[in-house]
Chain A
């Protein structure tokens, strides 16, 4: 942190990020400070190791999946735009009332996009379907060694059974939305950013 950090972020960049994500000017500069302090290599982008250095994230059972969400397909570096775009999913929905100057199209923090973020946590190979195998792998991450393969298998089977409506033994995004339609996604997948 230091004057160097904020001087690397130009006003035009801030304006573009504001339009794309809906964050306010001061939120963007503060998140840039945070981005800069995580960037130990000082090369303007974060690697997976930079994220792993946060102890509370490293002990999170789904830590690796969350970190993965910041990296576009096949890439190893997350730049600040990408960082903000991913964080924008977690802006509270009410904040949209204040920022009417977003570009057309669905804002990043809509209910659907929040659910899509969660869906991608499960969808390991990014083929828009959660297979039994993928569900098992993610379950295994969450429970560690504490539950046997058989028990975990039956949990996975039951979950797919309840969600799967078209009989393909996988959960598609629309099936995912249907199962969770009563869950308060807006509140549970939002973070209160201070202004």
Chain B
């Protein structure tokens, strides 16, 4: 019995030293040994083969539903005036534009039914549908049995992901986070100095690099010359907590967020020992002025790291950018926008907090193929004269959406959980009323 334990222990040590030697240490120095590149290349080839195989299978069996990621319907995007105007033109009554006709209701009816079949908002809170299956069970929408080979590859994929990659990634994550806690606590013992800041940055970056390897993350950075500078505010679209790992792999930021309990709380407390982050108590978050003041004070101090904020306020599924809350755009300072776009073929990064809690989300991440994403640093922006915070926020949002190839929406990400404001309906009613009453006075004369 003892012999077996000894062997297991030795194996474990060998395993650990391989991991540390081949993955952790190169990661910390920012060196890539090329394993991930090879892995991604093999993956791409396999997925291409799988797509072709599925397409061939669909041609042979025409009852199989084809997977098209196009919408279900084709919409016209006429305005209310255009559409109702057209409706009225064919009406026998000789109207000079204005007054009511019973066919006006057709416009609202058609719009309503279109939105029931397909709307712009609710689809942003669930994972994006893929154009072709990527051999993960979770993205399997309409998969029917196609061929033995495909099923074998899928089975092999399951084995590789759950039995090889998952333990490896969990090990890396544990190493990374422990290093963060230990490292920042040690650095926190030093007196304030340039050396302390340098060491703190080192600890943070190395930890995030280890975590990125723990997700097989392949990140392509664009326009590094626009990287956020101290005293600025970095603003990005939000898809998942992993955004932080992606961003912090290439720079150091001061995080902003709520104080948590448990493991998160431990990490937060130790991080703040080595360099200033902005953690708010739950009660403080309600007071907008207090929040704004703390952020203003932070960016006024030019020795502190740039703040990282996600103005959408919630995770969106990376097909669109939703309304930016104006709070971050009112404090002044320079905004450094960043656009992050994940490639859904390798793994769906979106955190659907209604469906998965944090732990099951992380497990899903660690059993995906990989996380592949592009990150663009956009040129810094400041509020212009005559522009209010909302307009500024929209300008930044458009720039990010444009760069990342995402749909630019004005809808509030908070609609994930809350009801839409009545005022929007009132706007619609007002617009319609102006179409009826326009010539009201004339016809009454």
Contacts and interface: CB of A to CB of B under 8 A. Distances in A.
The bracket for how many chain B residues form the interface is 35 or more
Contacts of B193: none
Interface string B111-151: 11111111111100011010000000110111100000000
B113 A191 contact: yes
A188 B75 CA distance: 12
Given A26-B66, A191-B110, A2 B138 contact: yes
Contacts of B71: 194
Contact of B90 (A58, A171, A182): A182
Interface string B78-110: 000000001100111100000111111111111
Identify the interface centre among B72, B93, B104: most chain A CB within 10 Å of its CB: B72
Q: How large, as a class, is the contact surface on chain A? A: 35 or more
A59 B420 contact: yes
B113 A122 contact: no
B73 A34 contact: no
A24 to B, nearest CB: 10
A33 B69 CA distance: 13
Contacts of A145: 426, 429
Given A54-B122, A55-B415, A57-B116, A122 B105 contact: yes
Interface stretch (B16-24, B241-249, B432-440): B432-440
A60 B102 contact: no
B419 interface: yes
Contacts, number: 186
B109 A117 contact: yes
A113 to B, nearest CB: 13
Contacts of B112: 57, 60, 62-63, 66
Contacts of B142: 3, 6, 29
B106 A189 contact: yes
Interface string A142-170: 11111100010011001100110000000
Contacts of B428: 59-61
B113 A29 contact: no
A56 interface: yes
Interface in A27-47: 27, 29-31, 33-34, 37-38
Contacts of B5: none
A93 interface: no
A116 interface: no
B73 to A, nearest CB: 5
Contacts of B116: 38, 51, 54, 57, 66, 87
B74 interface: yes
A80 B87 CA distance: 31
A27 B39 CA distance: 38
B261 interface: no
A63 B111 CA distance: 10
B119 A55 contact: yes
A179 interface: yes
Nearest to B72: A30
Contacts of B430: 144, 146
B143 A176 contact: no
A194 B72 contact: yes
A52 interface: yes
Contacts of B104: 142
B141 A1 contact: yes
A11 B334 CA distance: 58
A53 interface: yes
B105 A138 contact: yes
Contacts of A144: 425-426, 429-430, 433
B411 interface: yes
B63 interface: yes
Contact of A147 (B102, B436, B444): B436
Interface in B214-265: none
Interface in A71-93: 87, 90
A60 B108 contact: yes
A158 B100 CA distance: 9
A58 B420 contact: yes
| Most chain A CB atoms below 10 A, which of B68, B111, B427 | B111
B432 to A, nearest CB: 6
A162 B104 CA distance: 16
A52 B419 contact: yes
A53 B440 CA distance: 36
B103 A162 contact: no
Interface of B: 63, 65-66, 68, 70-75, 86-87, 90-93, 99-122, 126-127, 129, 137-138, 140-143, 411, 415, 419-420, 424-430, 432-434, 436-437, 440, 444
10 contacts: A1-B127, A29-B65, A30-B72, A37-B126, A60-B111, A66-B109, A66-B113, A90-B110, A144-B426, A193-B73
Interface of A: 1-3, 5-6, 25-27, 29-31, 33-34, 37-38, 51-63, 66, 87, 90, 117-118, 121-122, 138-139, 142-147, 151, 154-155, 158-159, 162-163, 171, 176, 179-180, 182-185, 188-194
Given A138-B105, A155-B100, A176-B102, 10 more contacts: A29-B142, A31-B72, A31-B117, A60-B112, A61-B432, A66-B113, A118-B106, A122-B102, A146-B430, A189-B110
